[in-house]
Amino acid sequence: MDKQKTQDASVFVRSFEQQEATLAPSVAKSSQFVAPGDDILSQENVVRGHGTMVQGTRLTSTVAGLVERVNKLVAVLPIRARYSAEVGDVVVGRIRDVVSRRWKVDVNSRQDAVLLLSAVNLPGGVQRRRTYEDELKMREFYDQDDLISAEVQELKQDGLIMLHTRSLKYGKLENGIFISVTAQLVKRSKKHFHHLPCGIDIILGNNGYVWIYIDETTAYAEDEEERTFPEKKKSAKSNIDQTLSAIRIRNSIYILDLYFLSIQPETIMLIYEQTIQKEIPVQHMLRPDIMNDIYRRVMNTKEM
């Protein structure tokens, strides 16, 4: 029986267990952490901000999060919430709909973002007014369900997010894996396009959408013309290796998301290296016992 168990790994069953506290203890213990309905300790005459509610004479929280005070303003920043955009954010989005002169893009926000036809680079890079013909060709640029990377150009008064892809690094995403994580785990930074040491590229969207891909163009010259026509010359063997690394990266990000750890190239590589070191095959990475083991080891080796 036991022998058979080790041999056949196609099925893994376990009972539900209390998952380890996913929040770092320092956060959970701090007095600034509140749950919905908790009193927010504050002095008289405060200005109430987002995530708070006045109940009688008390000021209570409406979300689970950290209390933030700016002078008299008291607000609660939720630890898990939909993405709230800021101008300049790099996002990964999925086209929801093609409507007149604009695309509706799902960016994990409260409402769909808008990408105007005039906010994309036309093929060939010419700058001109968008004509009716361009409008008819919109589905050839980005079709429904396509994934794109873009930048937040503007936030309208009512919260509408306007995107643009007016740069060579933005545009349609191909040859890779998509994974969605908690948006709060991706910090705003200078760089969101990363080339990882294992030869895999990732785009960490500020909105919690992550694209893991193999950039075939980096291997060739940075020449414009070649960039648009990447050649597939790689041998099948190296392709499989690359795919496996990409999946390993995907699973590493999944583990980080599950344990509510910050998602950065460094943390991803920490998990990645740990699984390589322990010689854990990709297919076993997502088993709860192994994930727990990896998590413990990583937490012991380095403060995250």
Partner 1 sequence: MFAVSKAERSYLLETVETGTRLDGRSLYEYRPISLQVGVLPSASGSSRLRLGETEVLVGVKVEVGETAESSTENVHIYFTVECSGSASADFLGREAENWSSELQKALESAYSAASVFDDERLKLVPGKFCWVFKVDILVLDTGGNMLDAIGMATRTALSTTLIPRVNIQQSEGTFELEIDDNPSACDNLKVEGAPIFLTFSLIGSHFVLDPSVQEETCSRGRLSVAVDANGDICYVCSFGLLDAVELARLLTIMKKTGKVLLDRLDECVRNGNSS
DSSP 109: B
Rounded to the nearest whole angstrom, what is the least distance from the CB of residue 247 to partner 1 in the complex? 5
Which of 34, 60, 83, 94 is in the footprint of partner 1 by CB under 8 A? 94
Which residue number, 16 or 132, has a Cβ lying nearer to partner 1? 16
Report yes or no: 168 and 191 within 8 Å, Cβ to Cβ.
no
Which of 66, 178, 180, 216 is in the footprint of partner 1 by CB under 8 A? 178
Plot region of 68 (φ>0 → left; ψ -120 to 50 → alpha; else → beta): beta
Scan residues 277-296 and list those touching partner 1 (CB under 8 A).
281-288
Which residue number, 175 or 301, has a Cβ lying nearer to partner 1? 175
CA distances from 207 to 18, 64, 116, 254 (A): 29, 19, 19, 15
Which residue number, 1 or 70, has a Cβ lying nearer to partner 1? 1
Given the structure tokens 């994974």, which residue do they identify?
179
Structure token pair of residue 141: 């640029």
Q: Name which of 195, 186, 204, 227 is nearest 149 in CA terms.
A: 204
Q: Count residues contacting partner 1 (CB under 8 A)?
A: 43
Structure token pair of residue 291: 């994930």
Which residue number, 15 or 71, has a Cβ lying nearer to partner 1? 15
Which of 24, 66, 77, 177 is in the footprint of partner 1 by CB under 8 A? 177
Q: Is residue 166 within the footprint of partner 1 (CB under 8 A)?
A: no
Report yes or no: 69 and 41 within 8 Å, Cβ to Cβ.
no
Which residue number, 169 or 187, has a Cβ lying nearer to partner 1? 169
Q: Is residue 176 within the footprint of partner 1 (CB under 8 A)?
A: yes
Hey, CA dihedral for 264, 266, 267, 269, is it positive or negative?
A: positive
Which region among 50-58, 61-69, 124-132, 168-176 touches partner 1 (by CB under 8 A)? 168-176
Q: Is residue 192 within the footprint of partner 1 (CB under 8 A)?
A: no
Distance, CA of 66 to CA of 64 (rounded, Å)? 7
Distance, CA of 194 to CA of 182 (rounded, Å)? 19
Q: Which residues bind partner 1 (CB under 8 A)?
A: 1, 4, 8-16, 94, 96, 106, 143-147, 172-178, 239-240, 243-244, 247-248, 250-251, 254, 281-288
